[in-house]
Amino acid sequence: MNSRKLIFSLLLVIPLYGRAQQKPQYTQYIFNNYLLNPALSGMENYTDLKIGHRQQWQGIKGAPTTTFISANMVLGDKYLWKNALSLPENGDPPMGRLYTQNYTASPAHHGIGLIGMNDKTGPLSFLDLALTYAYHLKLNNALNLSLGTAVGISRASINVNELNLENPSDPALSNAGKAQLNPDLSVGLWLYGARFFAGASVQQLLQREIGFSSVSNGGKEVAHFFVTTGYKLFIDDEISAVPSVMIKKVGNIPISYDANLKVSFRDRFWVGGSYRKQDSFAALAGVNFSNVFNITYAYDYATSRLRSYTSGSHEIVLGFQLDNRYRVRSTQRMW
């Protein structure tokens, strides 16, 4: 096969990219919905820092790998509040029934944050950086509504050193080594209380064109739509369960559905499960080592046709709750 045909074969991934999921896939978004929705910026009265890595489809060469860092915080000390988020002085389980009974919505405040993500699939890489902002309204004594936006930049590139070409000087490759920079915009809203949350967001609103060949039109970014909701149930005073669902729509591919369940013991450690329709089952676990540090892990078992070629996907996230003056142990209120 000559180099022109080979580069055209390679560039087929760009039009396909334009019709399929483009943003990274996460299993542990239920512990960090901020990755999908900027409206969560500054929802807590501490700085919420998370560092994560995902290896998708272990065993398949060139499968997606994603590394991210995210941090968000309340803007301004005067918006810090002390309420039922604080640990009870008598040693009762944090975030338990007493927490929900005494819960008070946070005052109106602003939140800011930063997300950095590197996603690589074969020779194709994306580096995204975004600044986020949210304004949190107090609807009543027990309910908040936040509106948020993320503004950033996305860098797309192909590593030509990973391509085995018969003629590297082919004119079709003239733009392959040039990274592309595009602006990025996302918006979202989040409704939350002591036991309930619901949110909706849209990523990649600008839908810019992407292409690496001087003889091909390439593909185009597509918007990603997310809708989610969940509710906290108490099994007893020490054990709680949070079922949740996520609906996702990307381009022309069918709607994706996730069903999740997290079971927590005294907010010290938790286990969970997730099912993504016609894609995978996942097992999740996490430990709060202190009111500053926690770690979570997820393993995905593929149920699609890929299960014959992969041993599964792995995802690990380290969480840090900085300036946690009220010693909150459970991240993001109820998750």
In the chain, where the domains are located: 3-322
pTM recorded for the entire structure: 0.84
- The one-digit pLDDT tens for each residue of the chain (335 residues) are 444 443 444 444 444 444 455 788 888 888 889 999 999 999 888 899 999 999 988 888 878 899 999 999 998 766 566 554 444 444 444 456 666 667 788 889 999 999 999 998 888 888 999 999 999 999 998 899 999 999 999 888 877 776 666 666 665 566 666 778 889 999 999 999 888 999 999 999 987 776 665 555 556 778 899 999 999 998 887 888 999 999 999 888 889 999 999 998 877 888 999 998 888 899 999 998 888 899 999 999 888 877 777 888 999 999 998 987 777 666 555 55
Q: How do strand 224-231 and strand 239-250 relate by DSSP bridges?
A: antiparallel
Q: What is the pLDDT of residue 166?
A: 64
Q: What is the pLDDT of residue 87?
A: 44
Q: What is the pLDDT of residue 11?
A: 46
Q: What is the pLDDT of residue 59?
A: 81
| Closest listed residue to residue 297, CA positions, set 308, 305, 286 | 286
Q: What is the C-alpha separation between 168 and 284, in angstroms, rounded?
A: 45
Amino acid identity, position 209: E
Q: What is the C-alpha separation between 147 and 300, in angstroms, rounded?
A: 32
Amino acid identity, position 295: I
Q: What is the pLDDT of residue 62?
A: 79
Helical (H) or strand (E) element with 261 = strand 256-265
Q: What is the pLDDT of residue 175?
A: 62
Q: What is the pLDDT of residue 291?
A: 81
* 3-class secondary-structure state, position 151: strand
Task: Spell out the CATH class of 3-322.
Answer: mainly beta
| Closest listed residue to residue 207, CA positions, set 64, 65, 17, 66 | 17
Contact 282, 257 (CB under 8 A): no
